A and B are shown apart, each in its own frame.
Chain A
Amino acid sequence: MSDLRVAIAMWGAYAALATTLVLLAAVLAMRVRFLHRLTRERDAATFWIPLIARCAETGSTTLPPLPKKDADDFVLLWCRAMDPLQGEAQDRLRDMARHLGADKHARRMFESRSLRRRLVATAALGHLGAQDLAATLQTEIASSPPMPSLVAARALIRINPAAGVRTALSVAARREDWPVPSVTTMFKECPAELIAPALASAIRLAISRGDDHGVARLLRLHVTADAPAIRDAVRDVLAACSDTEVLAAALSALSHPGDIAHARRLLAHPEWFVRVAAARALGRLGDENDVARLTTALRDSSWWVRRRAAQALLLLPGMDASKLADIASLQTDRYAADMLRHTVAERCVT
């Protein structure tokens, strides 16, 4: 073999070994740093958690100074303690943070390049009601990646609930990367009387813009609001929109028996998932007049429509196992009878 190939192989091997040594050194350094961080976090938790708990309970604890090495960990522990609390206990913890200078430290963390430190600081400053950050947070909500923007939205809602909810709703309508569960949970922390009017006007605004996808996203947040308060908005959607995704979302948000006509009408919609949503709505809001409709739906070509129709029949007022058994025995369609028997048996077992 030529010297060139030997040289290439040798230099390739040396390069691989040198890279290996560099990576090994990085692994060791990271392990040392990790162990050091674990120890520091454990010590900080052991020291500060009892103090935070006492402070939240009585507010009269004598506080030691906050060492610089504990400051980051303290802010995180403090945020975690704040989350489940309400009222005076939160006020006492805010006093504690200000007394220790944690508010100033959180502002320094907010300027950090580390995402983790910035997120913790955003959450902390939200709890502390840092009004001067509202404009910065509004920019973050609109433009940052999902996680920082959601943390910013949550902080803004704490600082200024009315403005925060309005901003978050308008962004939630268009940001596909905001998971609906996270947004729902965030809004569930707010008073329902604040959410409902804002949600209703956001839905109407999206309708006027012709933003069907935004309407559907907003309708999925209906569980965060007081149902009667958004009833008119849902009816507006059903009257104005024909997009199937929107119709299915609106049917899921139907909450008043007076609106049952929409569900009855849409049980015959050509799109199967609209019929599924209509069958579910009839299960929630329907009465004995819907037995025939749902029995017809038991013969639907879509398995899910048959399934939801059977479940809806079970939920109708005055229905019991014997009546359903009678309906099943009258079915000439095997799929309809099978589904009804299956659903009844399921209910009996559970």
Chain B
Amino acid sequence: MNWQAVADAVAWFYLGYFAILGVASFLLHACSLIEVPRQLELGLPELLPRPHSGYEPPVSVIVPANAGRSRVIASIHALLRLEYPEFEVIVVNDGTSAGTLEALIREFSLVRFPGADRRQIETRHVHGAYRSSSYPNLRVLDKDSGGKADASNAGINAARYPLVCIVEPDSILERTSLRRAVMPFLSERNTIAAGSCVRVADGCEVRNGFIEEIGLPAKILPMAQVVEYLRSFLFGRLGWAPMNSVPIVSGSFGVFRKESIVAAGGYRQDTPGEDMELVTRLHRLNRLSERPYRIAFLVSPVCWKSAPASPGVLRDQRIRWQRGLAESLVRNRELLFHRRGGAAGWLMFPFMVMFELLSPLIELSGYLFMIAGFALGFVSAAAFWSFLLLVVSLGVLLSISALLLEEISCHNYRRPGNLFALVSMAIVENFGYHQLVLWWRLQGLFQWATRSAARVPRITDA
């Protein structure tokens, strides 16, 4: 066998991969640039009367509570102060620590309540329903522990209103979050789901459960995630919106039309990435049955979350995300290149497979190949360095273009020095952090491929 020929072919493969990645990213960026002005146009409501006419659809806000009692209670207090004409908050007590239900009963004057909910989605046993005598729009369900997906499904069963908003207890919202998130449902009646950018709350000033002033974290890991989130949301999700192919609505905050989520069977309980799996399934079911639908994505952030600050927690999160991604794509593989799949099946799905699912394998093996080739002498120094330069410069380009989208759309980071810090991190994260995350994602891919039984703990999501 001619080893040099094999090495040449492999080198062409990696070069081709990064070239296609560059072109695809450029096109996604262009799509984001189309979407941002459209959304900014919707954001000029000061010229029109506020649409608080009673026709704004009421919303059931569902909180699958699996966090500690103090966090859940603080979150409920903040949710009850949201600015929205009509909404209810349904807290699903799902295997929280002992005493959480009693604390909720005391804090919100809950009383036991006869239930008459439809069980449209199968869930673990619900022991009882409670209603607050202090806050008429607050209900609590107490059920057997079944995980976030099961708790969300129980909340959906109990929801009274046509729109359901799934919120994790550690999500920090803005007072107007719900009003903004409902806008896509008002402007287009085929909208079945709306997600939004999620931002890192570390470094922000939070008062009474709401963001008061936006800032950047001081620690390096959360700071790297700020840039990563900008890239992931403003680029990797917003860019798909004009093609109606948004790949994921974050589990931290998402608004859905209840009847669509019920018709799809609710959240799957046997996948670690239930939020992405649901959205991919909605694409598959609606595209294949040729039902008109729209999954919207909002450029302005309506939800903020603390980012993992320790490498161990971040590692577990990325492993779980990668496993969730793999499960979502494999379970909905019928969408891939289906004749009725449209942009979701012919563009988004292959992109997710090539540049999200397989990227840890391809990129890391590319690094290893170049390093080994350089060491063994079949890759020249010029080829080695030009490959590294290409990879790093593409990474920096993607981060800076996300910063540009942020600057066009939101101007969130306004403190002096914020822009310099973001640009610096957009460069620095390509030297070490990016590769480390790739390694963790590769572990996730391996665990999924080998169906590793090791349970990865659930932590903060985006």
Contacts and interface: CB of A to CB of B under 8 A. Distances in A.
Interface of A: 1-2, 5-6, 8-10, 12-14, 16-17, 19-20, 23-24, 26-28, 30-31, 34, 76, 79-80, 83, 115-116, 119-120, 122-123, 145-147, 150-151, 154, 176-177, 179-182, 184-186, 188-189, 220, 223, 303, 306-307, 335, 338-339, 341-343, 345-346, 349-350
Given A119-B44, A338-B116, A180 B55 contact: yes
Contacts of A339: 116
Contact of B419 (A31, A123, A346): A31
Contact of B54 (A119, A177, A223): A223
Nearest to A340: B116
Contact of A9 (B111, B383, B397): B383
What is the interface of chain B mostly: helix, strand, loop, or mixed? helix
B51 A182 contact: yes
A23 B402 CA distance: 10
A346 B22 contact: no
Given A13-B393, A220-B55, A349 B111 contact: yes
B276 to A, nearest CB: 29
Given A123-B47, A185-B50, 14 more contacts: A1-B378, A1-B380, A5-B11, A9-B383, A10-B386, A17-B396, A115-B44, A147-B48, A150-B48, A181-B55, A184-B55, A185-B52, A223-B55, A307-B116
A32 B118 CA distance: 55
A141 to B, nearest CB: 14
B7 A20 contact: no
27 contacts: A1-B379, A8-B19, A9-B386, A16-B397, A19-B397, A20-B396, A23-B403, A23-B404, A24-B400, A24-B423, A26-B407, A27-B403, A27-B419, A30-B407, A31-B419, A147-B48, A177-B187, A179-B51, A181-B55, A182-B51, A184-B53, A185-B51, A186-B49, A303-B118, A338-B114, A342-B116, A346-B113
Nearest to B422: A27
Contact of B53 (A34, A122, A188, A346): A188
A120 B44 CA distance: 10
B11 to A, nearest CB: 5
A243 B53 CA distance: 26
B12 interface: yes
B214 to A, nearest CB: 14
B18 A12 contact: yes
Nearest to B26: A19
B114 A16 contact: no
Interface of B: 7-8, 11-12, 15, 18-19, 22, 41-42, 44, 46-56, 111, 113-116, 118, 131, 133, 136, 186-189, 378-380, 382-383, 386-387, 389-390, 392-394, 396-397, 400-401, 403-404, 407-408, 411, 419, 423
B393 A8 contact: no
Given A9-B390, A31-B419, A1 B48 contact: no
A128 to B, nearest CB: 15
A349 B114 contact: no
Contacts of B419: 27-28, 31
B388 to A, nearest CB: 9
A42 B132 CA distance: 44
A147 B40 CA distance: 11
B241 to A, nearest CB: 17
Contacts of B115: 338, 342
Contacts of B400: 20, 23-24, 27
Contacts of A307: 116
B17 to A, nearest CB: 12
A13 B393 CA distance: 6
A115 B41 contact: yes
Nearest to A343: B116
Contacts of B131: 345-346, 349
A6 B393 contact: no
Nearest to B408: A30
Contacts of A123: 47
Query: Which 4 residue pairs of A and B lie closest in terms of their CB atoms, listed nearest first?
Result: A342-B116, A16-B393, A181-B51, A1-B383
Contacts of A342: 113-116
A34 B407 contact: yes
B114 A1 contact: no
Contacts of A146: 187
B15 A9 contact: yes
A204 B379 CA distance: 80
A16 B44 contact: no
Nearest to A148: B41
Contacts of A19: 397
A269 to B, nearest CB: 19
Given A12-B18, A16-B397, A26-B404, A176 B189 contact: yes
Nearest to A24: B400
B431 to A, nearest CB: 15
